[in-house]
Structure 1
Amino acid sequence: MPKNRRFDNEGFLGLGVRHFQAFLIFFGISAAYALRANLSVALVAMTDNAANADFEQYDWHEKAKSVILSSFFWGYILTQVPGGALAKKYGGKMVLFYGISICSVLTILTPICAKIGGWQLVCALRVIQGLSQGLIFPSTHTLLSKWAPVEDRGNFTTYCYSGMQFGTMVMMATSGVIASSAMGWPGIFYLSGGLGVIWSIMWFIWGASTPAVSNLISLEEKKFIEQSVGLTSADTHSTAQLRTPWSKFLTSVPFFALLLTHSANSWGFWTLLTEIPSYMKNVYGVNIKSSALVSALPYLVNFLLCFVFSGISSVLDRNKCMSLNVSRKVFNSIGFWIPMVSLIVLGYVGANETSLAIALITVTIGINASTYLGFHGNHIDLSPNFAGILMGITNCAANIMSILAPLVVGVIVSDEKNPDQWHIVFFIASGFYFVGNLVFIIFGSTEVQSWNNPHPLPSLEIRNTAHLELQH
């Protein structure tokens, strides 16, 4: 084992401060997704609270409910790119802090806003929550680019972003229970918002934008991380002052391939998330929203597979079985092309084969966890200095896809009980998975791009040296 890695076994269970930072980010993203998903369940209880009639109910029409549910994304798209720029300039810690803390406080205020301002004020609240959460992914990628050693980058990305599934799963599994309890539907907002506030306090105390400014880290671990990512304490300020090469981003073939891949994944994922409940209800007569277990199952499988794939990646890396470039593309292919096949098969499952349909849906969503070791970490591969901005750009495009996908489904499916129309929807999603991964295989790259350093910096030489040392 290289001498500069001996400290790995000196901490608790061989973990360092970088792992603690990943642990905090994981729970931060979990809180963020719980705050995002809480309304989908709470809205049912707010407008038809048969399980607990002790709390106020609102007579909001279906159009109003649809507007409320979609309003989050109006704000979410707008702050993706600015979020990356802010994280680059001011550091990922405070941008992530504001993103989650603002959303958490507004969540706690949701019940009173519904009471005094009706659905219109709730809608406005969700827009602001979307604006705040738009900061989260770009700041997280900025943090990972500073904290995750090169050889562990895929695993760190997986650990942190698995919080999406964990937060969604917990919220979907518990919201119904909370709404039926003495807390009623307001308890959904108070508990999820309160947990977000608690996390924000913990992050403010223990979080750090870089190893250089952390009060917890040892000198040995700090040196190891900085050598691995090619960033010294003296470089931190210089990196923040680099001019952003916008034109280089948009003319870079590997980045454009990444943008298309991220968008394709979003199309398939959101087609499933928004339309599968309707498909199951109308074709199979199963209302999966009424079953917390069935609703949460695909996300539970996805969450668990994050760690399975991460373990496999660690074994492959330890035995030097494949290069980073090959590893990214192999895991991305698993996460894209297996769901592609399962979606095609789903289109031919008979109306009396409900269990098989649920199994295929679970596989489709669950196996997508492999992409965290694929394209999700590629922004940092291409440009550690601008990873947050790159994530902001691709996540903005991806969320436009998440808005367009349900609209296209609405045009295709005129009769929700017609399986043939649903087949077309699944074939289109499969096509996106196929093309998106093919583009990534052909044009994707893990090489640090020349525009990562618009001006010559000492860190570029350090990075190349660190790469060679780690390989040997």
Structure 2
Amino acid sequence: MEIEQKDGNKNKAPLFGARHVQCILMFFGISAAFAQRVNLSVAIVAMMDKNFANPDFEEYQWSEKTKSYLLSSFFWGYFVTQIPGSQLARRFGGKITLLLSIVLSGVLALLTPLSVRLGDWQLLFGLRLCQGLLQGSSFASVHTLLSKWILAEERSSLGTFCYTGLAFGSVLMMLVSGWIASSTLGWPGIFYFAGLFSIIWGFAWYFFGANTPRECKWMSEEERLFIEAAMVTMSRSDPEHATMKTPWLKILTSLPFLVLLLAQCAYAWGFWTMMTEIPSYMKNILKQDIQSNAIMSSAPYLANIFLTFVFCVLASFLIKHGYTSVNASRKLFNTLGYWVPIVPLILLGYMRADQSELALALLVIAVGVNTAGNLGFLINHIDLSPNFAGVLMGIANCAANIMSLLAPLAVGVFVTDAENVEQWRIVFYIASGMYFVGNLLFILFGQTTIQAWNYPKRHHPQPNERDHTGI
């Protein structure tokens, strides 16, 4: 890839450079954040298992309703700080907000076993709520950083790679949870692992992360010039960007953004229904023990990681060779990610304990193909407004995480008997309906054109900027 400057000189993109290092660090940062979010989903199976092999750790007889409160507790705090967190990331840069959100939350992960011992589920609920408050700025921070580091041409591949950390963090916790819970560490070790992982990542991010290429002291001058020459939109080069007022009214009345917000809400409901409830579904319906439960629960997310790379390559190929426009690509992959999982999810509600292999295959399809949505709605915020990508993510993620909060609570309402497959059937029907409606709206009304409110009032987009589609 080459960028030609006004003086005729050409800057070449390094095959592997600082921007790739930033993406790798953000990948592991998101992984650490998600390891903290899902650790309770896998640990709670051991914490409530009467027949669990390790008698050295206390067993808790919580009701399904209490369990649903605990699984949703993170999101009670998480959605509150989405918009304030996005403003902080825009004001101070994404590096410090991402660092503090993940590391401080990681410290609380280390304190989780102690909190349960001292205050039972009530104190655990409060601690998880605080973790959610701390992590509220994480996605907005990543979007803010991506808008400064990642070229438009690389947005689908590198941007989506960063968010593959969601699946990686989930797989990591699910794979190690069975082994850790069965070891001398017991279920508390699951929380210790997530906390230490986050703190180790924090040291690496502190020394090697940077808000912008100009602030990165160890990257080559060649790559810095290349990125700065490529950043042709106002979001990258305008000195007034940091002081531009957020156009709240225009954002909240923008049809493309509102559709994106609804699509993100639908995704969050389905994603977190599967994320928080798969371990319980495996145990109660498919009768899997804690170790096989962890292995089976992680298999769909391994497929998710693998298919992410497949979809990234496919999306880049289709756009590069002119087979699809960026707008068509966003909607195509969003459709794959939303509509393909509908049938497997519905069929899951009809599985019996002797059909665990078939149920696993359905979960692999549903969760694996679900990652295609990351090439659709998840980077659409940057398409619509590079200058306010973090703010858009903050607003949309705030709304989406109300869904993330409600999804586990809904399971607690509908699933009063965890071994009743007919009650689980309702849960899967609701998630499928969310996916269908969310993607239908995105197909009909979603856009990839940079919106006029992205720019300062004095700036008038050039024709190439109006036609800019994000890739």
> In structure 2, what is the equivalent of residue 250 of structure 1?
252
Are positions 1:404 and 2:406 aligned together?
yes
1:169 and 2:174 equivalent? no
Are residues 1:7 and 2:12 paired? yes
Distance apart, 1:466 and its partner CA: 11
Cα distance change on mapping 1:427 and 1:126 into 2, 3 Å: closer
Distance between the aligned counterparts of 2:12 and 2:389, measured in 1?
Answer: 28
Q: Distance in 2 between matches of 1:319 and 1:90?
A: 39
Deviation string, structure 1 residues 381-409 (Cα, Å, up to 9, x no partner) = 00111111111111111111123234444
Is this contact kept in 2: 1:254–1:445, CA < 8 A? yes
| Structure 1 residues 118 and 227, CA gap change in structure 2 (3 angstroms) | same
Question: Which residue identity is paired with 1:334?
Answer: L
CA distance in 1, matches of 2:386, 2:350: 44
Cα pair distance change 1:338/1:204, threshold 3 Å: same
CA distance in 1: counterparts of 2:60 and 2:421, whole angstroms: 33
TM-superposition CA deviations, 1:322-377 (whole Å, max 9, x none): 21111111111111111123334445567754322221121011101111111100
Q: CA–CA distance in 2 between the matches of 1:234 and 1:326?
A: 25
Percent of pairs with identical residues? 51
Q: Secondary structure in 2 aligned to 1:384?
A: coil
Separation in 2 of the partners of 1:452 and 1:366?
Answer: 34
Alignment correspondent of 2:198: 196
Q: Does the aligned pair in 2 maintain the 1:157–1:372 contact within 8 Å?
A: no
Structure 1, 337-346 or 380-389: larger mean CA deviation: 337-346
Aligned partner of 2:150 among 145, 148, 151: 148
Distance 1:181 1:278, change over 3 A: closer
CA contact (8 A) 2:449 2:468 kept: no
Q: CA deviation at 1:266?
A: 1.5
Cα distance change of structure 1 residues 112 and 363 upon mapping to structure 2, 3 Å threshold? same
Quickly say closer, same or farther: Cα 1:296–1:228, change in 2 above 3 A. same
Superimposed CA distance per residue, residues 289-319 of structure 1 (whole angstroms, 9 cap, x where no aligned partner): 7522101111111111111111112222332
Counterpart selection for 2:294 from 281, 292, 295: 292
Alignment partner of 1:80 is 2:82: yes
Q: Output the CA distance in 2 between the equivalents of 1:177 and 1:351.
A: 23
How many residues of Structure 1 are paired with residues of Structure 2 in the alignment?
Answer: 464
Partner of 1:265: 267
Distance 1:385 1:65, change over 3 A: same
Cα contact 2:269–2:431 (8 A) shared by 1: yes
* Aligned-partner Cα distance in 2 for 1:284–1:3: 55
Q: Is the 8 A contact 2:145 2:212 kept in 1?
A: yes
Deviates more, 1:348-357 or 1:249-258: 348-357
Sort the Cα spacing of 1:377 and 1:234 in 2 relative to 1 into closer, same or farther, 3 A. closer
What are the Cα deviations for residues 245-294 of structure 1, in whole angstroms up to 9, with x where unaligned? 11111110100110111111122222333444555555555567752210
**Matched residues in 2 for 1:133 and 1:309: separation?**
28
- Hey, which of these two has a bigger chunk of helix by percent? 1
Q: Which residue of 2 aligns with 1:224?
A: 226
**Is contact 2:265-2:400 (8 Å) kept?**
yes
Aligned partner of 1:61 in structure 2 is 62
Whether 1:70 aligns to 2:75 is no
- Give, in whole Å, the separation in 2 of the partners of 1:183 and 1:282: 25
SS of match in other structure, 1:146: helix
C-alpha deviation, 1:321, in angstroms: 2.2
Match of 2:357? 355
- The CA distance in 2 between the partners of 1:114 and 1:366, in whole Å, is 34
Residues 1:26 and 2:27 are matched in the alignment: yes
Name the amino acid aligned to 1:443: F
- Asked if the contact 1:166/1:300 (under 8 Å) is kept, the reply is yes
What's 2:335 paired with?
Answer: 333
The residue type paired with residue 55 of structure 2 is A
CA deviation profile, 1:51-94 (whole Å, cap 9, x unmatched): 3334x426563365544333211111111111111111111111
What secondary structure is seen at the aligned counterpart in 2 of 1:61? coil
- Does the 8 Å CA contact 2:108/2:127 hold for their aligned counterparts? yes
Give 2:107's aligned residue: 105
Contact 2:351 2:421 in 1 (8 A): no
Gaps of 5+ in 1: none
Residues 48 and 347 of structure 1: CA distance in aligned 2, closer, same or farther (over 3 Å) = closer
Which stretches of structure 1, 4 residues or more, deviate above 6 A after TM superposition? none
The aligned amino acid for 1:24 is: L
Q: Secondary structure at the match of 2:169?
A: helix
The AA in structure 2 aligned to 1:2 is E
C-alpha distance 265-355 of structure 1, shift in aligned 2 (>3 A): same
- Please state if 1:36 is matched with 2:41: no
CA 1:275/1:196 → structure 2, altered by over 3 Å: closer, same or farther? Answer: closer
Q: Which amino acid aligns with 2:27?
A: F
Residues 376 and 451 (structure 1 numbering): CA distance in 2 closer, same or farther, change over 3 Å? same
The residue type equivalent to 2:227 in the other structure is: I
Q: Secondary structure at the match of 2:340?
A: helix
- SS of the residue corresponding to residue 387 of structure 2 reads helix
Q: Which moved more, 1:335-344 or 1:45-54?
A: 45-54
Q: Secondary structure at the match of 1:385?
A: coil
Deviates more, 1:129-138 or 1:342-351: 342-351
Q: Which moved more, 1:265-274 or 1:14-23?
A: 265-274
Q: Which amino acid aligns with 1:29?
A: I
Q: TM-score, normalised by structure 2?
A: 0.89
User: Mind listing any 5+ residue stretches in structure 2 that lack a counterpart?
Assistant: 5-9
TM-score normalised according to structure 1 size: 0.88
Which residue does the alignment assign to 1:323?
325
What per-residue deviation string (whole Å, max 9, x for no partner) do you get for residues 134-164 of structure 1? 1111111111111110011111221101111
Partner of 2:7: none
Match of 1:181 in 2: 183
Contact 1:146/1:231, CA 8 A, preserved across alignment = no
Is contact 1:212-1:233 (8 Å) kept? Answer: no
Equivalence for 1:436? 438
Distance 1:110 1:344 in 2: 35
With over 3 angstroms needed to count, the CA separation of the structure-2 counterparts of 1:380 and 1:233, relative to structure 1, is: closer
Structure 1 position 107, deviation (Å): 1.7
Change (3 A) 1:180 1:234: closer
Determine the C-alpha separation between the residues in 1 that align with 2:421 and 2:117.
42
Query: How many Å apart are 1:203 and its aligned residue?
Result: 0.7
